[in-house]
Chains A and B, each alone.
Chain A
Amino acid sequence: MQILICVKQVPDDSIEIRLDNKTKMPNLNGVSMVANAFDTYALEMAVRFMEANGGNVSVLNVGAEDSTNTLKNCLAVGAKEAYFVQDDSFVNLDALGAADALANAIRKIENDKGQKFDLILCGLESTDEITGQVGAMLAEKLETGFVSRAIAFNVKDGDLQVNQETEEGYNVVSVISPAVVTVSKPEYDPRYPTIKTKMASRKAVIPTFSAAEIGEVKQAIVRLVEYVEPPKREAGIKIQEKDAVLAVSAAIEQMKKDKAI
C-alpha cells in the first residue's frame, strides 16, 4: 500500500504559549517547531503497517516556513520519502486553502511518480489552530472517501478497514480506497529515532516545490482579525486549614453561601 501522511509543522505543544504583550501575537520565542503530535501518531501507524505488510510511506508538508528539519525527523522514524511545498504565499492559508494546496501537491507527486496513493493520513487536528478541518476538506478536494478519528487500520479481503474511535469503543469502517483518514491517539506512542536513522535522514534530499509548480493559491475566506487574551477567572477564596474536618466544614459553609450547593 502507498501511504502518504500530511504533516503540519507547529510550535512544540509541551510549552505553554501566551500572547506577547507588545505585538499581540503568540510568543514563540525559544519554542522549537516540530511535527504536529497527531501527525506523528499517523506516521507511526503507517510505518507499523508498512513494516508488517510492505508498501511505502511518504510524508508531505506545505507551508511558508522552512520545515526541512521536521520532515527529516519524519524520515528518521520510518518514512521512506518526504516532499515539501514551500511558498511565502502560504502565510495566510485558511483550512480550505491548505486542503487545496495539499490536494494540488498530492496530484503533482502522483503524476511525477506515475503511482497513486492508496491511503492519505492526516492528524485529527493540529495543536496550534485546533480546527480539525483540513483532513475532511482534503477528502472533498480529492473526491475520495473519508473516515475521521482512526485508531487503527488494516486491509481485509482487499478492503481498507479503519477502526474509528467512538465514545464507547470503536466502529469498524470499510472504506473505498483511495481514502483520506484522520488519526486520533492510538494505544502506542511514536518511536524515537536512533543515531543511525538520524544520520541517514540528515543526508536525505527532499524534493521541494513552489506554489506555482503545483497549482494556484486561493485567497483565504476565513481571516484572523486579532488574537486576544482569554478573560481571566478571578481566583476565589482559599481555605488552608491544617485539620481536614475544619477545612471541609469551612468549604461547605462557603459553598452554601455562594449557592453552589
Chain B
Amino acid sequence: MKALLYIETSGDKVLGGSVELISAVKAIDAEGTALVIGNKVAAGTVASFGIPVIYTDSVATDNDTLTEVLFEIVKGENPDMLLFANTALSKDVAPRIAARMNFGCVSDVIGMSKNDGKVMYTRPAYGGTIFERIEVEGASVVTVRGGSFSKPEAAANAEITEKNVQIPANAIKAKIVDVVKEISESVNLEEAQVIVAGGRGMGSAENFELVKELARVLGGVVGATRPPIEDGWISRAHQVGQSGKVVAPKLYIACGISGATQHTSGISGSDYIVAINKDEDAPIFEIANLAIVGDVTEILKGMIEEMKKVKAE
C-alpha cells in the first residue's frame, strides 16, 4: 500500500500535525512518501525522520495552485492514499483532490487500522458523541486530526527527489487581493504542551485575567470556550473545541468550563485534564483526571501562587 503524505509548512517550519502522518502510515504498514512544496529546509527536516521526500519548488501561496500541484503529483505517483493533517488548509484542498481523482474522502480521522488488507478509519460525528468506522472502496484522501498519532523519531536521512510541476494560468480562479489582520497575537494551541482555558464561569474580563496569568506562570497557552470570546474577554484565535482548535496537550486546565460535548470532544486527546468548577455535577468532571469543586477565582489565585513556587523549585 502506497501512501503520499502532504507536509504543511510555515516558512522553514514543518507543521507538527503533518509529521504525525509518518507514524499514522506506519500503524497500517503502508509505504510512505512525504511531499513538501516550496521549502527546501522543511524538506530536509522531513527526510531526517527517515521517510523519502518528494520536493517541488512551486510557490503555492493560493489554494488553487496548491490543489493543482497536488493533483499533478498524485496523478504521477498514483498512491493508494493521500494524507493531510486536518487543518483549515487541508479542509479546503483535500476534498477538491478527492473529487478530481474520484478518490473517497475521509475527514478528521482519529484512528486507522488494517484488516484483511483494508483500512478502517475511525472519526467523530454528531459533535463527538458518536464515532463512525469507515471503509473506502479504492484510493482515498484522508485528513488526520492532530494529536491522534505520535511524533516520529529521528532516523537516518532519507532521499529527497525533486519534481517540477507546471501550473496552467487558467487553474487559478480565486486570488487573495488583501490580507486583513485583526488579531496580532499568534496562538499555537495545537502544539501547546500546557493549556489553561477559561469558560463562561470566569464571569468577567477581569477574572479571565487569572486564566492568562496561570498560563503565563506555567509557560502554557491560553484557551477559551465560545462565551468568553463572544463577550470580548479574549480573541477567537484562542477557541478550543469542535468548532475551534482540537488540542492534545500534556496538561489541560479547564477553568469555569461546564463541559459541553463540542468542547470536551476537542480536548479528549489531552494527557491530563484538571477541571475547576463550582458545580459538582459539571459534565467536565466526568472526563477530568483531577476535579476541583469550588470558586474558580479563589482556586486560581491560590494556584497561581503555588505554581510559582513549584516552578521555582
A residues sitting closer than 8 Å to B (CB atoms) are: 11, 13, 16-19, 26, 94-96, 99, 127-137, 139-141, 144-149, 161-164, 166-176, 179, 185, 221-230, 233, 235-242, 244-245, 247-249, 251-252, 254-256, 258, 260-261
The SS class assigned to the A binding surface is mixed
A250 nearest in chain B by CB position? B292
Task: Judge whether B130 is part of the interface by a CB distance below 8 angstroms.
Answer: yes
Q: Is the CB of B133 within 8 A of A224?
A: yes
Contact B98 A230 (CB under 8 A): no
Known interface pairs A19-B130, A239-B293, A255-B274. Does A170 touch B98 (Cβ–Cβ under 8 Å)? no
- Residue from A19, A224, A228, A247 whose CB has the most chain B CB atoms within 10 Å: A247
A131 and B142 alpha carbons, distance in the complex (Å): 11
Which chain B residues numbered 166 to 205 have a C-beta less than 8 Å away from chain A? 173-184, 186-187
The listed residue with most B CB atoms (<10 A of its CB), out of A176, A222, A242, is: A222
Q: In the assembled complex, which residues on chain A have CB atoms less than 8 Å from the CB atom of B129? A: 16-18, 230
Closest-by-CB residue of B relative to A100 is B99
Given contacts A16-B129, A149-B88, A176-B174, whether A223 and B134 have CB atoms under 8 Å apart is yes
Query: Closest 3 interchain pairs by CB?
Result: A145-B173, A140-B99, A169-B182
Report the Cα distance A147→B106, complex, angstroms: 20
- On B, residues with C-beta under 8 Å from A are 63-64, 88, 91-96, 98-100, 102-108, 120, 122, 124-138, 140, 173-184, 186-187, 218, 237, 242-243, 250-251, 261, 265, 268, 271-274, 280, 285-295, 298-299, 301-303, 306-307, 310
Majority SS of interface residues in chain B? mixed
12 extra A-B contacts, CB within 8 A, seeds A144-B173, A223-B136, A230-B124: A26-B125, A137-B96, A170-B182, A172-B178, A173-B175, A223-B134, A224-B133, A225-B134, A240-B294, A244-B299, A252-B310, A260-B251
In the bound assembly, the distance between CA atoms of A261 and B214 in angstroms comes to 13
